Amino acid sequence: MRELSERKILFFGGKGGVGKTTCASAVALSASRRGKRVLLVSTDPAHSTSDIFETPFGSAEREIRSGLSGVEIDVDLELRRYVDRVKEQIAKVFSPDVLRKSERQIELAASMPGAESVALFDRMTELMIDRKEVYDLIVFDTAPTGHTLRLLQSPDLLVTWVSALTKARRAMLPPAQDEPDPVLAALERRKDRLEEVRARMISPRTTAFVLVTIPERLPIEEAYRSLETLAEVGVDIGQVIVNRILPSHATGEFYEARRRQESVYLDEIDRRFARLPRLRVSQLDSDIHGLASLDRVAELLQC
């Protein structure tokens, strides 16, 4: 993981409960201890980064320790901010009467499925683009796999949508219009921004996705299914972390039975993820919370 943390953006994903937050937090802390300026971002609605660091996070960037800041994105707040920004942009272009008539449609659109994902990705884009000079590394502790993969598909979907809107707007304009059209200009700015974040996300020099799993059937299946989607998106899979492996010193009939079953799943992981770098991490003898225990995890992650 040491080499992987030299990139600019890391996404940690996997099935719920496999230890994504622990791994993401340990990597972020270790990188900051080596002198990097790091931002740890939680996009999981069930935030637990505050708990693991024993420090309250918020929707705004907050320093946790020297070199390490954290954010827990509040999706409801980001959706409200997104809607307000849309209204502000409309107010700059159209008359107050048009704004009043459009407010109901805007609020209705904000309540429809997918609106929260758009607002969340907008906030992530802001961090990846506007804060890229502030931080050496941005680590995203993501929601369970399915939701995260849909988010990573957002740039392609939004570029297609904005391109369609741009084409429709151009068709509405007079052929010989001299003045720049503010709506068209706003759409083109939006498309340029999406293209920039997509370029950063699919650059293997900049970004990597870290799959976290455990040696059990369901987490393995979910991690394997995500490979195809990540390949389609174009995000480089930098590492597969196999977490919570039984320590060798655990003895007794129960542990021996569990170890035999675990061995089957470890062989399966090696077979199904053979083309990817894999790292095995033993289960510790206590819960992970606080800097000292995160340092122990960082050692196991070789970062």
Strand order in the sheet with 62-65: 62-65, 68-72, 38-42, 137-141, 9-13, 207-213, 237-245, 278-282
Q: How many angstroms separate the CA atoms of 117 and 303, rounded?
A: 32
Is residue 132 one of the residues assigned to a domain?
A: yes
Which range (37-41, 204-208, 288-292) has the least confidence?
A: 288-292
pLDDT given for residue 1 in this prediction: 82
Residue 92 lies in a domain: no
Give residue 113's pLDDT band: very low, low, confident or very high (50, 70, 90).
low
Q: How confident is the model at residue 149 (pLDDT cuts 50, 70, 90)?
A: confident
Mapping DSSP onto H, E and C, the string for 168-206 reads: HHHHHCCCCCCCCCHHHHHHHHHHHHHHHHHHHHHCCCC
Q: Please compute the mean of the pLDDT values over residues 88-109 and round it to a whole number.
A: 66
Residue 42 within a domain: yes
Q: How sure is the predictor about 94, in pLDDT bands with cuts at 50, 70 and 90?
A: low
What's the pLDDT at 162? 82
183 falls within a domain: no
Matching residue, tokens 């399966």: 268
| Strands annotated E in 123-255 | 137-141, 207-213, 237-245
For 38-63, what is each residue's pLDDT tens digit? 999 998 877 789 899 998 888 889 99
Alpha-carbon distances of 70 from 32, 49, 61, 73, 292, rounded to whole Å: 12, 8, 6, 10, 18
Tokens at residue 254, please? 């129960």
**Per-residue pLDDT, 152:** 80
How many Å apart are CA 192 and CA 203, to the nearest integer? 17
Q: Is the pLDDT of residue 285 over 70?
A: yes
Q: Which residue has the higher pLDDT, 75 or 41?
A: 41
The identity of residue 63, as a single letter, is E
Residue 101: the pLDDT is 61
Can you tell me the distance from the alpha carbon of 232 to that of 210, in angstroms, rounded to the nearest whole number? Answer: 16
> Does residue 265 surpass a pLDDT of 90?
yes
61 located within any domain: yes
Q: What is the mean pLDDT of residues 224-249?
A: 91
Q: Is residue 266 part of a domain?
A: yes
Give the residue carrying structure tokens 């001299």: 178
Q: How many CA atoms lie within 13 A of 251 on its CB side?
A: 1
Number of domains in the chain: 1
Q: Is residue 284 assigned to a domain?
A: yes
Which tokens is 227 given?
């490979």
Categorize the per-residue pLDDT at 31 as very low, low, confident or very high, splitting at 50, 70 and 90.
very high
> What's the mean pLDDT when you consider all of the chain?
87
Whether the pLDDT of residue 96 is over 90: the answer is no
* pLDDT reported for residue 109: 60
Angle between helices 96-110 and 75-93 (to 10 degrees): 160
Question: Could you tell me the pLDDT band of residue 13, with boundaries at 50, 70 and 90?
Answer: very high
Q: What is the pLDDT of residues 162-203, one digit of tens each?
A: 888 888 877 877 777 677 777 788 888 888 988 999 999 999
Higher-pLDDT residue of 23, 77: 23
Residue-level pLDDT at 251 = 85
Cα 75 to its chain centre, rounded Å, is 13
Q: What are phi and psi of 67, to 5 degrees?
A: 90, -5
CATH at residue 51 = 3.40.50.300
pLDDT computed for residue 239 by the predictor: 95
In a domain, 186, yes or no: no
Q: What is the pLDDT of residue 150?
A: 75
Q: What is the pLDDT of residue 103?
A: 65
Percentage of the chain lying above the pLDDT 90 cut: 47
Domain that holds residue 72: 4-78+127-161+200-300
Burial of 285 (0-12, 13-18, 19+ CB in 10 A): exposed
